[in-house]
Amino acid sequence: MESALPAASFLYWVGFGTVAYLSLRISYSLYSALRVWGVGNEAGVGPALGEWAVVTGSTDGIGKAYAEELANHGMKVVLISRSQDKLNQVSSEIKEKFKVETRTIAVDFTSEDIYDKIKTDLAGLEIGILVNNVGISYEYPEYFLEIPDLDNAIKKLINVNILSVCKMTRVVLPGMVERSKGAILNISSASGVFPVPLLAIYSATKAFVDFFSQCLHEEYRSKGIFVQSVLPFYVATKLAKIRKPTWDKPSSETFVKSAVKTVGLQSRTNGYLIHSLMGSIISILPSWIYLKISMGLNKSVRARYLKKAKKN
């Protein structure tokens, strides 16, 4: 009987320790969630980081929403995209609405020889924030070997989704390091965290953006630079081919207003409370279940696209 007492005491303290640990974890998680999604960090972006914000892919969707939101915080904005006509339109809208200075740079990120021009055009600007947003995906979900014009598709996806992030960072980061302040916001995707079959190249390029961002944040945070990987699920944009926003597929404006509040608080963020909850749920699923669901959904989208294309 006496020998059972030490064992009972040991189990008591193990149980007590486990409950205490879980209570602390839950309390910290609730505190973090309240801090990020309830309070946010409105002061995380603004001219205090530097006069100018640079946004790639800034004439539509998330990029345009970031440009407008940063202008709303008082920052001058450099808009970079392919179409000069669209750049002029967005530039005029931002000037009129937010009363800030804008500049435009028209380049095609599928090309590799554009960065000397960008560097020249940005020379002398005090850049506080870089938003690496430009990106492309597939026309429709497809098996790797059946992607139309596969070799060209590989080159385009890598140039736009990967090379642009590295090269734009190379252009802007030295000035931030010199001033010991700045933020680089890299728009990745939830598909960079959870592999997406039938979107293999896109998913893999977004995984690169996420890993690159994490590494860069650790390398330069001691120098005053905040690097963030933004990992949204579906947002109602042209790229996602979603026209009508819903509670789980917010408009780009709604998403960005939420995501901006996480700057300085989360180096990896889903940017939007519902997306954060979705990420938490998927992360506890066995990978084979998630992959099976993802494969089934994309096979369905592929079948509908090919059926419609055949009719036309």
Q: What are the catalytic residues? A: 202
Query: Hey, what amino acid is at 184?
Result: I
Query: Would residue 151 be called left, alpha or beta, if left means φ above 0 and alpha means ψ between -120 and 50 degrees?
Result: alpha
Rg (CA), the chain: 22
- Concatenated DSSP letters of 105-174: EE--TTSSS-HHHHHHHHTT--EEEEEE------SS---GGGSTTHHHHHHHHHIIIIIHHHHHHHHHHH
Q: Residue 162: count other Cβ atoms within 10 Å of its Cβ.
A: 17
Which residues, 6 or more positions from 78, have their beta carbon under 8 angstroms from its beta carbon?
52, 53, 54, 55, 102, 103, 104, 105, 121, 122, 125, 127
How many of the other CB atoms lie within 10 Å of CB of 138?
18
